[in-house]
Structure 1
Amino acid sequence: MKIKSRLTSFLFIVGLALGMSAQQGPNQAFWVHEDQVKPSMMNEYEKTSKELVEACKSNNISDINWTVASMNDGTYLSITPIKGMSDIENMNFNDLREKMGDESFSKIFEDFDKCYDKHGDYVTILIPNLSYMPDGLSTSTPGQNYRVWHRMDVSPANVQKFQAKMKELKDMFASKNSKLPYRVYRSGFGNMGDSFVAVLSAKDAMDYDSRSTENQKLLGEEGDKLFDELFDYVDAYSVKRGGMRPDLSYQPAGEANNNAKD
């Protein structure tokens, strides 16, 4: 989680014009903390995560929030929307430490440290003009906490060509009235290289596989051809599955529920 990293000052910021929200602005940035949890420590990690959430709730902490997604390879993402540097600077656990006391507070993060050898922070940016959500762009998908992440790494020389093909793909989905919406994110500050991730939501694995198969039939040979052209500009491709984890997420009392958001 982004927990431990919030204990120190962050220097991550995106040099882009950011909108107020995914629905209102041209781009929305998200601050992500990624933990690569050891297979043998996943239960302990989730136990500690729930202890942190409960500590924040019982102490009525209001200056931090995060939404968690877990992947099937043991990767956990803690996600917080940001508008600028002040958001990152102002989000910390100082209030929780003061209310819990140093010893109890420190133990939580010591327990986290046992669960992984690698973790880090970066910014990712939601790109509305490459995302296909005909009912309105939103990272909130009530009743659809299942997630599939399609990651595509692209060399700098091919970024513009890749984006043009992604726009063609979006237009094709729209013209054929596809029932498989997706959101596209681009790597931001704190990442090496350029990558794009298409995130799809579903009720469960069966729902996703069924709709994906139907969409492939809908797009037909025209779709196959466009995907082939798109992947001409992709250097590496990977797919991960998982879902949103409301039980590991924290939103201060009174804020909108963020449980199903990317």
Structure 2
Amino acid sequence: MKTFKTSILIALLLCFSFNLSHAQKRFMVHQDNVKPSMLMQYEAIAKKFNDACIKHNPQTSWATGTRSDFKYFYITPIENFADMDKNPFADMAKTMGDEFGKMFEEFDKCYDSHTNYTITMVEDLTYMPEGISMTQEGQNYRKWYYIYFTPSNAKKVREGMKAVKALYESKNSKEYYRVYRSGFGTPEEFYLVAISAKDAIDFETKSKTNEATLGTKEEVWEVFSKVMEHATRMEEFSGEMRPDLAYAPK
């Protein structure tokens, strides 16, 4: 959870090269790749850190998600790339003294690697007709689909994603989803599709209903193939949002 620093040069280059024409909400993600054997220790220090933040009230916020492969994600909204160079924990660290550093030493024992990157919600590819929100009350279960593509196929994949959304809209589907685009710090380009549900059973029930809603397998594949034919690969993960590890200042 160490503050991510970027150079002014990289930030300037990114401002010119990153396409924001179809994206409104940007997030910085800190990802901890937790060792399975250290899961409970990690949970303990994460809760300890969260409690310390509640006490010392740093001026930042994040949502927290956990994935089935023991990865933890701390997702912070940012206005621009300059936000990535700020340290909202400076006053907290000064007040806590050595105890602040010791917490991160405990974190470091729980993983061999962690990383920081940005993602951006792509609202015109997102299907949430009742209003777009990253989190939904009572629906903390998540299914995440990563769709990877090469830069040369970016336009075609985007067109395919628009076709999928159009299908959902035409059928008045009740399975809603959000779409995020990879940004600075990711080694590959991808779209991330996030679907919320109450739990795994609720997800499977909605998914089964949605299959019938969208049409025959042949009809659905005709649309989805517009994405699949240009993707390099896909990954699917289950997980959950963790309100108990989320934070917002008072």
SS at match of 1:73: coil
Counterpart of 2:39 in structure 1: which amino acid?
A: M
Counterpart of 2:72 in structure 1: which amino acid?
A: Y
Aligned to 2:131: 136
Q: Write out aligned runs for 1:29-178 (5 A).
A: 29-59=26-56, 61-101=57-97, 103-178=98-173
What TM-score comes out, normalization by structure 1 length? 0.87
Q: Choose from 202, 212, 227 the match for 1:217.
A: 212
Q: What is the percentage of aligned positions where both structures have the same residue?
A: 38
SS at match of 2:58: coil
Question: Against the structure 1 CA distance between its residues 199 and 112, is the aligned structure 2 distance closer, same or farther, given a 3 Å change threshold?
Answer: same
The RMSD of aligned alpha carbons is 1.8
Residue 18 of structure 1: how far off its partner (Å): 6.3
Cα distance between partner residues in 2 of 1:166 and 1:67: 26
Q: Is the 8 A contact 1:46 1:248 kept in 2?
A: no
Residue 220 of structure 1: how far off its partner (Å): 1.9
Q: Structure 1 residues 243-252 or 86-95, which shifts more?
A: 86-95
1:237 partnered with 2:230? no
Cα distance between partner residues in 2 of 1:236 and 1:193: 11
Residue 250 of structure 1: how far off its partner (Å): 1.3
Q: Write out aligned runs for 1:201-216 (5 A).
A: 201-216=196-211
Q: Is the 8 A contact 1:149 1:198 kept in 2?
A: yes
Q: Which runs of 5 or more structure 2 residues have no equivalent in the other structure? A: none
Cα distance between partner residues in 2 of 1:91 and 1:177: 44
Cα distance between partner residues in 1 of 2:63 and 2:221: 35
SS at match of 2:145: strand
Measured against aligned partners, the alpha-carbon deviations of 1:142-201 in whole angstroms (never above 9, x if no partner) come to 111111100010111111111111101101100100000100011011112211110000
Counterpart of 2:64 in structure 1: which amino acid?
A: V
Q: Is the 8 A contact 1:132 1:183 kept in 2?
A: yes
What TM-score comes out, normalization by structure 2 length? 0.91
SS at match of 2:124: helix
SS at match of 1:58: helix
Aligned residues: 242
Q: Choose from 228, 246, 249 the match for 1:249.
A: 246
